[in-house]
Chain A
Amino acid sequence: MKRLLAALALIFGAAAPLHAQTADHPQPAAMSDVKARDQRAMALELAEKFVVPAYRDLAKAADAQESAWKGFCRKPTQGAVDKLKTAYNETADAWAQIEFVRYGPIGENFRYERMAYWPERKNAVARSLAKAIGEPDKLTPERFKQTSVAVQGLSAMERLLYEEGAVDALLSGPEAERRCEIGQAISRSVATIADETLEGWRGKGGMIGTLKTADEATVRETVSRLGTDLLGVFQAIGDLKLDAVTGMNPSEARPTLAETWRSGRSARAIAENFQGVKAMTSVIVGDDTEHGAKVLAAIQKAHDEAANLPAPLGEMAEDEKARPRLTQLRQSVRVARDLSGAYIPARLGIVIGFNSLDGD
């Protein structure tokens, strides 16, 4: 028997366990002494203290953006363009804080894709925006909703404001009026999506009402999906927002793959992502400061490093001297991911998937 046990230990020790097998995406062992919280209380608290406030901020910023466009179209001046840009940045900031949540009303009716279309594939935003500019049909909200998802949200808005020559084209010339109409249509669309999503959570018949009386399986699903969304952000930031841009060396850098590179928001967007991650994690931690403090500190570190980058990601990636700071940020994202990956599932009492991470 002893020999068998020894053989077992040898075998299962030698055959790599799950987390060692996925060396590219390690799944650290769960923190063993973390106390799981009641799932219904957790789901409601996440909804009320994180999700709804975040969508409320987004809806507010989106309303302000819609007003700014109304004002601009009445009187298109350089000063009004500055206001458009401020409103865009505030809306994009608010979106970045809740962007990682795909669960709930944002996942319905292509709201997520319509809000922002990134990574942009097949040049879809440019193509659909050019098409919208070229076709002089009336942009009613109903009709605009039927157009390409790529033109309906913040990704197209960024081009309208920041692409080379965009401001001139807004202020004067043959396309100015049309560009104004499109800007207004996008701002309306973004505000509507934000409102619908917010109401889908807090309104009558919305998620919060449902969660109060839902069966255990539904509650578990909510907690599980929000938890999964939260842990997914580290991968998205690491792979898509950082690695794809930095490459292995300066000559492999791809500045135009950076998110919102036109408006120079690539680093700021990551910082705002972490702001949202921190807000959600704080709710999950609750009074468990013993374990939670470590996790929150790691998220804060990644946030601070992103917020303090001196230049856009692409520019830094092309500069051998600046790259170490990106490497440092990448490492901090990993640390935050590993600590969150060990803590969040244990605290939420859920299993986290892995098919989406390792591939085959």
Chain B
Amino acid sequence: MQIDRRSFIAALAASVAGTMAPAGFARADERLFVSSTNDAEGMSALTVFSVDGGTVFRTKLPARGHDIAVHPTLPDLAVFARRPGDWTAVVNRRSGTVITLIRSPEHRHFFGHGMYSADGRLLYATENDLDSGQGVLGVYDVAKNYARVGEQPTHGIGPHDTTFLPDGKTIVVANGGAKTDPASGREILNKHSMEPSLSVFDAATGDLRHKIDFGSRLTGLSMRHLAVAPDGEVVFASQYEGDLDEMPPLVGTLTPDGKTRFLEIPDRDLASLNSYLGAVQLDRSGRLIAATSPRGGFVVFWDRESGRYLGRAPLPDVCGVAASPEKDGLFVVSSGNSGVRLADATRHDVAHVGGSDLYKFMWDNHIEMI
């Protein structure tokens, strides 16, 4: 069904739901975060909040949003539709109004993740090429009202999260390896022959630098989410779709020169993650890792430098995670039914926060700091 783009934007722009921050909610110096949320009435929104002040605004979305890319200089926030959605909304982070709405071209749909280039000129989004079944990165020109200006292969199928390395020139993509088609919903069509991989390529030329295939050794270990450290090491978090009686490690790192290692975790802790991680982040120092398992109801922590496992903290339905700017080892985490909390990697526990209305919402998969 063709949706009239102009009335769509008009409708969205008219639908900022909320609390436009009157002075006194968030402190002027307090950092803001953004996440997709749903409320008890089933309304999906892009929600900007502060940990102690609560909601700043909520902008209505047509359906569930997934991750959000934060523009380095402009007030633009790009919220990608949850896969297999066909829209990405660009929202003004100060006013909450919709700046524009990007629709995926024919035979493409969004996978839920993307990023801005370091200079803020381009927006990249992971997408599915429905004709070939291969993953692509759609490229959109910010200055041209986000017109689609090109695409690059992700060198794999079912790409999910993507990130630039700190050089601002090299792109890493987590190729989940699962073949899906909106015609059959979210069903994995190649359950027994998935091809998970990590690809590292040049943003300008598309030249592939490294490709790490997991399929031959670890069929079913779907690469999903990424976090990049200041030194260029990338942390990946995966989900295992294979045999129920197997239990591969889920978190590892990839160096810029293409070397991977898995991070150790005791079996009893690994078992409690139910083979599923929903998000991963590094703390503000870039040294400590937090990964979330909504299916297990735990946040798990590692020290990236030593590779040492630090422990787990319980929070049901936890998924969103972002580094807190307050101190090393502290993370803002969110849950579908327990609101927003602060998780501490060294004490491995979670604490309540001051934002009084945050518990009311069902927090979707990802949080970003803005």
- A149 within 8 Å of B (CB atoms): yes
Taking a contact as CB atoms closer than 8 A, the residue among B44, B62, B64, B362 that contacts A353 in the complex is: B362
Which of B7, B271, B295, B314 is close to A356, meaning CB atoms less than 8 Å apart? B295
Q: A4-B7, A352-B336, A360-B83 are in contact. Are A217 and B352 (CB under 8 A)?
A: yes
Binary B-proximity of A337-360 (CB < 8 A = 1, otherwise 0) = 000000000000011111110011
User: B294: CB under 8 A from chain A?
Assistant: yes
Contact assessment for A148 and B365 in the assembled complex, using a CB-CB cutoff below 8 Å? no
B317 and A356 contact, CB distance less than 8 A:
yes
Beta-carbon contacts of B345-370 to A below 8 Å, as 1s and 0s? 00000001000000111111100000
**Contact residues of A between 161 and 192, Cβ < 8 Å to B:** none
A350 contacts which chain B residues (CB < 8 A)? Answer: 337
Residue pair B63, A21 in contact (C-beta under 8 Å): yes
Q: Select from chain A the residue with minimum beta-carbon distance to B7.
A: A7
Given A21-B82, A355-B365, are A224 and B63 also a contact pair (CB < 8 Å)? no
| A residues less than 8 Å from B160 (CB atoms) | 360
Total interface residues on A, CB under 8 Å, equals 51
Of A48-56, A80-88, A115-123, A206-214, the one with at least 4 CB within 8 A of chain B: A115-123
> Does A113 count as interface, using CB distance less than 8 angstroms?
yes
Which chain B residues numbered 1 to 56 have a C-beta less than 8 Å away from chain A?
1, 3-4, 7-8, 10-11, 14, 38, 40, 42, 44
Number of interface residues of B (CB under 8 A): 56
Residues in B with CB closer than 8 Å to A12 are 11, 62
Inter-chain CA distance A8–B185, complex, in Å, is: 24
Complex Cα gap A352–B247 (Å): 28
What separation, in Å, do the CA atoms of A224 and B62 have in the docked complex? 28
Q: Is B360 touching A351 in the complex (CB atoms < 8 A)?
A: yes
In the complex, are the beta carbons of A257 and B244 less than 8 A apart? yes
CB-CB contacts below 8 Å: B58-74 with A: 62-64, 66
Are A354 and B362 interface neighbours, CB within 8 A? yes
A307-351 to B contact mask, C-beta < 8 Å, 1/0: 000000000000000000000000000000000000000000011
B278 to chain A, nearest CB (A): 6
* CB of A319, distance to nearest CB on chain B (Å): 22
Given A7-B8, A221-B338, A353-B317, also A110-B245 (CB < 8 A): no
Using a CB–CB cutoff of 8 Å, the interface residues on chain A facing chain B are: 3-4, 7-8, 10-12, 14-19, 21, 23-24, 29-30, 102-103, 107, 110, 113, 117, 119-124, 148-150, 217, 220-221, 224-225, 228, 240, 244, 257, 350-356, 359-360
A-B residue pairs in contact (CB < 8 Å), sample of 6: A15-B87, A23-B186, A24-B186, A124-B267, A224-B316, A360-B112
The 10 tightest CB contacts between A and B, nearest first, are A353-B336, A353-B317, A355-B294, A121-B247, A353-B337, A15-B62, A7-B7, A355-B319, A356-B294, A149-B268
